[in-house]
Amino acid sequence: MGQLRTFAGYFIIAALLPVFLILILKTGSEINEVQSFHSVLEEKIQLKEISLPQTSYIKARDGSIVSEIHRPQNRVNLESEQIPSFLKELFIISEDQHFYEHSGFDLSSIGRALAINMKSNGIEQGASTITQQLARNLYLNNEKTYNRKLSELLYAYEIERYYSKEEILELYINTIYFQNGAYGIEAAARTYFQKQTSELSKAELAFLAAIPNNPTLYDPFKNFKHTKERQERLIDQLTQKQYLGPEEAENIKKEPIHLKNNKRIDLFPDYATYVEAELKDLISQQDGFEKKRLAAKSKQEKEKVEAELDKRFEEVMASGIIIETALEPSIQTVAKSATVQRLPYKEVEGSVAVIDHSSHQLIALVGGKQYKKYDFNRAYQAYRQPGSAIKPLLVYAPYLERTHASLGKKISANSFCKNGYCPQNYGGASYGMVSIEQAFIHSYNTPAVRILDSIGIENGFHDLSNFQFSKVSSSDYSLAAAIGGFSSGMTPLELTSAYTVFANDGLYQPSRAIQKVTNQNGELLYSWNDTPVQIWSKETTDKINHLMRKTVQAGTAQKAQLPSGYAGGKTGTTNDYKDYWFIGLTDQYTAGVWVGKDKPENMASIESSAPQQLIWKDIMLKLLK
């Protein structure tokens, strides 16, 4: 029965192919019928616009590549003129000697393959031209069936109608698989030789050309001998066709092949993961998805917008973009090592954000002690209670802006109760009347609550809204917020970015990792165009900077002292010691450190060591050098 079905398959294909071929070959004498045939093909076989996915890159501030993003394939497209003619000739002679003569398929090759397959009672020979192979790579699969082969012929014929031979050859050489994740000749050149295609010798080009015929068998890293033997057979074929002289051919064969395994670049995953997230936000804003999301009237509409954004993001990532960032590799390394070394405690995690506040650029980001790419990134995904680290933003700056009070003004640090809300100072202590400076640098709670109450909760949150904390809402409008009582809180990156307002005379602008996004030709695709917002006066921020400096010199942040220059900041500790914060700045940099457990638990045992301050200090000492 099996042999009967196989015979029937041969019979059908033998019957269908001539009909298809005759229709094509009679284009001259029966043009009207062929035009009808073309219209049927166009209806049944719709060629999508060919856009080969390419590798995208994330670059640091110094221009070095820190991450290669393969979505979904490692490929760098070359234009036809960038592909060596020697390589083109290699593929034509080895894969499709009648490439410039046929219309997508080779009749003589099909006949030979059909005879061999009938003799072997299987599909051993494919007789695929370069165009057919391109059709298979772009639109079909590698299934060995006659249905697939017939589809391949039809697609190849349509490709030949729409593209020139040079365009087809260019697409083919950029599409074929060279094993080890490399698609196209340029990715192969970088994978096996750490060179560009233009830098390869004829021997190296022939060596790479040997791989696609059977990528597994001719894997250079695993089967070098097989690959070298096929390289020499290809050179012999070129010699037989008189493309090469015997002497040159022998010299090419003798040239040593030295492989250099070019592993995928994937450095600084904490930062690189955030860059991808920021790019999605950038696309959302500049391509109109954010406006659509805000205008959506139902959950279903929002989900549709999100799906469209996801699709657009993947398209951009697969288009071969270059994302230029503000990353400072040396600072990133120090921030990471400091986080690991200063937090030897089990399950205690940390995150860091470092910002060059003069340029509003994020230069380092740590998402966790042992962060791996696409893990939960605590620096921008963990929303935590800020504790007293919120006081400069919600309490003191709004108060000083409205009252112009001196820092020596007295305020009660005794117990406080209002409408059933009775916060306490650390240890339940009462301190009597204290100056604003004393209340700030020692982080007393009841003065902060009194100050917010005096200016009005609405006013404090009016100022805070300028920082666009993503999970702060009207439900947080309470006196408890004065000492860090929020429903969700904010991320370390959000809070650190907000503190840059004090380094810029009250002017706030979001801090960004991405400087610009271009295509492979350097043409600008995306860049941030943020508008600065004046929140407070220079008089107010000067006072806050003085208070933060005193906090480091004589207050709760003395372990963050630096040997020279300005250093100021604010600590934050949440109830039951579940979170430790330190957000501080120097003349040029603002850095924030959060320490805690993913599942919040009491960490009173590490309070005295103040690891959050020591991490900050380690980073700033590196920046001072």
388 counts as catalytic = yes
CA distance 459 to 449: 14
The residues facing 344 across adjacent strands are none
For residue 393, the 8-state DSSP code is I
- Type of residue found at 490: M
605 counts as catalytic = no
Quick check: 86 and 202 in contact, CB under 8 A? yes
Residue 429 zone, left/alpha/beta (φ > 0; ψ -120 to 50; rest) = beta
Which residues have CB under 8 Å from 173's CB, separation 6+?
78, 83, 87, 88, 91, 184, 185
Length in residues, the chain: 625
CA distance 410 to 439: 9
Query: In Å, what is the CA distance from 354 to each residue of 267, 325, 571?
Result: 18, 14, 16
Q: Which of 89, 95, 306, 308 is catalytic?
A: 95
Which residues have CB under 8 Å from 251's CB, separation 6+?
none
Kindly provide the b/e burial profile for residues 556-589, where b requires at least 16 CB atoms within 10 angstroms of the residue's own CB: bbebbebeeeebbbbbbbbeebbbbbbbbbbebb
Closest C-alpha among 622, 21, 524 to residue 322:
524
CA distance 499 to 506: 10
Q: Which of 151, 351, 388, 511 is catalytic?
A: 388
Active site residues: 95, 388
